[in-house]
Every structure is written in structure tokens, then in C-alpha cells.
Structure 1
Amino acid sequence: MRVLQTVQGTVGTLPGATSVARGMSHFGEHALGWITIGAVGALVDPKRRTQWAGVAVGAVGAHAASIVIKRVVRRKRPAHPSVQVNVSTPSRLSFPSSHATSTTAAAVLMARTTGLPFPAMLVPPMLLSRLVLGVHYPTDVLAGAALGAASAAVVARAEKKFGER
């Protein structure tokens, strides 16, 4: 709880931080932003169509895995008078963060496709945004990132295995 309070009391007080975090939240909701990026990439980059489709598939698969785990673990979102919740959520379940999961999967797969450092550019801000918004504990976002990386590895292995046929 202390880390969450500290993030909200420091980063969360910066001008525009909550608005940016809300925008990131809406972009990442149900992995829709990452699905869109994968679809657009597949349309405009025919040479790497399979890899861009893998970005969308990886984000969806990671999101689905996080939802299953949420329903098994059933950890409630932060609820403490000192934590301000700054965005609505589709459920009261917290672990793991689906935003962290789908963002990490998409970022790893986009990096694999383009060679650009998307994980370093995209994952930390998304994880931090979930704390700024007061909807996750630090362990939720870290577990989500780990699950997203594992999901991306599964997609990459599948692409390698089935792409050689």
C-alpha cells in the first residue's frame, strides 16, 4: 500500500499525469489499442503481416490469460481511504493487471517485429499509470508484465514453428 500511496503522492500530482494515465487506460482496455496497432501493421506492412497479426493475437491471448487468472485468484482492487481511484474498471478484480499483461505482450512482439525498444518505451509507463490511477497494487502490474512476456514468448515460438511450413 505504501508504494501505491507514494506513486499517487508524487507522480500522480504532476500536471496532466492523471489525464495521461486515463488515456492510457482507455487505449489498453480489453487490449483494443494493441489489437488495432497489430491490425494496422498487418495492413500497411505486408512483408511482416504474420508478425503484426501476432502482435494482435499475443495481446488478446495475454489479456484472456490475465482474465482467467483474475477469476481464480479473486484479489480485490485497492480500497483504502488514502488511495484515490481515478478511473472506472470493468471488474473489481486486481491480480494480475490485464493492462500490464496485454501491453507487455504487444510491446515484446512489436520489438521482435520492428527491432525497436518498445518494451522499454511502453511497459514502464503503462505499469506506472495503473498505480497513478489507484486500481492496482505494484505486485499486480509486475505479475501482469511477467505474464505478458510469457505470452509473447508463446506467440513467438508458434510463429517460428508454424511459419516454417
Structure 2
Amino acid sequence: MRDFGTDRRVGGAARVLSFSGEHGALWLAAGITGAVADRERRAAWLRATALVGTAHLASMGIKRVVRRPRPRLAARLPLVRTAGRYSFPSSHASSAAAAAVAFGALRPAGRGLVTPLAAAMCVSRLVVGVHYPTDVAAGALLGGVTAGLGAKWMRGAHVRSL
């Protein structure tokens, strides 16, 4: 997968996704935008955004316990710098999967945009060379489960805000 980063377009896109997903920034901004734009479901959007943040924070906590070093390939340097030394699980994947589940539940028509973007962000972590596939899979699972477990809480806000 890392070899795809040698293509300038693929590597460039992966770097953009990596940067925009740092600390869940893209997904947090999307959730806040949803809360501002969709006044009727503002509370649900804010709860969905909180689920994204929760998944990201859980991922960071697990990293501190597991302490798995990032991949080091002698032949290639990573295409991006990272905020931390540890790779398991991928926090980018955690927040992306949580956003796909939570925002997709709020805006089913938007799943066609959010889900592929979240998947691309997950793949980008492999392309830029800062994660093992198991890091990304575990991060995506963590994010999806976090948002899935919080879905009832999120929907409760939607019902009360109508």
C-alpha cells in the first residue's frame, strides 16, 4: 500500500487527508457545521460530534497503553510527520469511522460522501506510511463501535429537539 504514495497525485491526496484528519479536525468541523446548518437537529449533531471526539480520545488513551511504535521502513520515510510516536490504534481511523456512523445516521443522504471520505482517510494512513493495517482496522472498529453504542443517545437528542 505504501508504494501508492510514490504516485504524486495519490501521495498528495493522502497527505491532504492526513493533515485534515489530524486530531479529528475535519470531522469535528463537519459536525459543528451540521449543528449550525441544521437548527432542528442541533442537539443531535452536537452529540454526534461528541461521539467522534470520544472515539478519538479513546484511541489516544489506548495508544498510551499499547505503545506500539510506528512503522519504520529503511527504504522510505513517511510522507507526513505525526503528532505522536505510537500507532495502535489509528486515531484518524477512529474519528473517521465514528463520523461515518454518527453523521450517516443523522443524514442518510450524506452517507454517499461521508463513508467514502472516511474510508479514504483510513487508507491514507497506510499510503503515507505511518500505520500498519491492523492499526487502521482497530481504529475503524473502535470508532464504529463508539458511534454505534452512542446512536441511541444521539437519536434521543433528535427526538427532543423536534
TM-score by length of 1: 0.88
1:131 aligns with 2:126: yes
Q: State which of 117, 139, 143 in structure 2 corresponds to 1:122.
A: 117
How many Å separate the matches in 1 of 2:121 and 2:157? 31
Counterpart residue number, 1:151: 146
Q: Which runs of 5+ in 1 are unaligned?
A: 1-6
- Post-superposition offset of 1:41: 0.7
Q: Is the contact between residue 97 and residue 144 of structure 2 (CA under 8 Å) also seen in structure 1?
A: yes
How many Å separate the matches in 2 of 1:101 and 1:72? 16
Local SS of the residue matching 1:20? helix
Task: List per-residue Cα deviations over 1:26-76 (Å, max 9, x = no partner).
Answer: 111111111111111101111121221123111110000000100010000
Q: Which runs of 5+ in 2 are unaligned?
A: none
Counterpart residue number, 2:2: 8
Q: 1:16-31 to 2 correspondence within 5 Å?
A: 16-31=9-24
How many Å separate the matches in 1 of 2:133 and 2:121? 12
Counterpart residue number, 2:55: 62
How many Å separate the matches in 2 of 1:113 and 1:163? 9
1:110 is aligned with what amino acid?
A: F
- Post-superposition offset of 1:132: 0.8
How many Å separate the matches in 2 of 1:162 and 1:27? 28
1:32 aligns with 2:25: yes
Task: List per-residue Cα deviations over 1:106-164 (Å, max 9, x = no partner).
Answer: 11111101113256412321111001110000000000000000110122122245666
RMSD of the TM alignment (CA)?
Answer: 1.7
TM-score by length of 2: 0.89
Local SS of the residue matching 1:16? helix
Counterpart residue number, 2:72: 79
Counterpart residue number, 1:88: 81
Q: Is the contact between residue 68 and residue 88 of structure 2 (CA under 8 Å) also seen in structure 1?
A: yes
Local SS of the residue matching 2:21? helix
Q: How many residues align?
A: 158
Q: Is the contact between residue 96 and residue 122 of structure 2 (CA under 8 Å) also seen in structure 1?
A: no
